[in-house]
């Protein structure tokens, strides 16, 4: 049997779900810049809830997404996700997130349990030297990274893994399935260059970055989907998954 995560959460400090997302929200113009890197395994396993398995090697993705429109206006998010498996499903377990739009940030916290914090700057910009992502909060630069020398690839070559956010649902720690659909128009791949990354500020004080992979950028539509299921973080996902509208598994 694969290894399970070692983290047993409490509700304190978790985003409190007010109402799980029930409606699909379509963003017509979204750009996503992703930095993927391996992290040392011992701390990564310890950071995952017991419902989830770590893959090997353990790895994270830092995802910066600029939403050009939507019910809360334009906004940009930056999320650090530690990748895992819920049974045999790929999930990106969110450790920390920032947004530059207070309303969008509140929506993502309240409807999907995203541990999102408002920051002064969360940006994704094309520069002459590459595609740049920045996060500044409390006057400190938490992320300053560039996809250098990007070259075109096919959107078919890129895979986005569904998200899993730890939140308090009715006062109980719960993994919320944040699912999405997307249709990509453009895609690029390039080398990742970090000028600054405060990984502790993204909720991962114990993780150690060990091996960078190429960065990707895409443009297209992005749709936030209604929450279909939640998982008890303390039990294996096979037994602890509950579909919305159904009672908890025995």
> 73 and 101 in contact (C-beta within 8 Å)?
yes
End-to-end CA distance of the chain: 21
Part of the chain binding other proteins (CB under 8 A), chosen from 17-25, 112-120, 135-143, 208-216: 208-216
- Judged by CB under 8 A, does residue 163 bind other proteins? no
Q: What tokens appear for 63 in the block?
A: 């995802």
| Nearest distance in Å: CB 216, other proteins | 5
- Judged by CB under 8 A, does residue 88 bind other proteins? yes
- Judged by CB under 8 A, does residue 216 bind other proteins? yes
Find, among 140, 175, 158, the residue nearest to 214 by Cα: 158
Spatial CB neighbours of 215, under 8 Å, sequence gap ≥ 6? 33, 34, 35, 36, 131, 145, 147, 150, 189, 190, 191, 192
- Judged by CB under 8 A, does residue 186 bind other proteins? no
Residues numbered 42-81 forming contacts with other proteins, rule: CB under 8 A: 53, 55-57, 59
Q: Which H helix or E strand runs over 218?
A: strand 215-224
| Nearest distance in Å: CB 89, other proteins | 5
Binding region for other proteins (CB under 8 A)? 1-3, 36, 38, 53, 55-57, 59, 83, 85-90, 153-154, 156-159, 161, 177, 187, 189, 211, 213-214, 216, 228-229, 231, 237-243, 249
């Amino acid at each position: 049997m694969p290894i399970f995560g070692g983290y047993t959460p409490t509700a304190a400090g978790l985003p409190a779900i007010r109402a799980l997302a029930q409606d699909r929200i379509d963003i017509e113009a979204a750009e996503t810049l992703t930095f993927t890197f391996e992290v040392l395994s011992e701390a990564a396993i310890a950071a995952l809830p017991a419902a989830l398995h770590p893959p090997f090697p353990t790895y994270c993705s830092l995802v910066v997404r600029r939403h050009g429109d939507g019910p809360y206006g334009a906004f940009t998010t930056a999320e650090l996700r530690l990748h895992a498996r819920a049974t045999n499903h790929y999930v990106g377990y969110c450790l920390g997130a920032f947004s530059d739009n207070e309303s969008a940030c509140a929506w993502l916290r309240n409807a999907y349990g995203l541990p999102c914090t408002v920051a002064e700057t969360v940006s994704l910009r094309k520069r002459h030297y590459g595609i740049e992502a920045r996060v500044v909060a409390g006057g400190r630069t938490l992320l300053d990274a560039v996809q250098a020398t990007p070259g075109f690839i096919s959107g078919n070559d890129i895979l986005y893994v569904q998200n899993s956010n730890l939140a308090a649902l009715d006062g109980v720690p719960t993994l919320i399935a944040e699912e999405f659909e997307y249709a990509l128009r453009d895609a690029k791949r390039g080398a990742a260059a970090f000028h600054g990354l405060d990984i502790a500020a993204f909720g991962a004080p114990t993780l150690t970055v060990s091996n960078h992979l190429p960065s990707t950028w895409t443009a297209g539509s992005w749709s936030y989907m209604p929450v279909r299921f939640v998982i008890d973080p303390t039990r294996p996902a096979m037994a602890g998954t509950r579909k919305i509208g159904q009672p908890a598994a025995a």
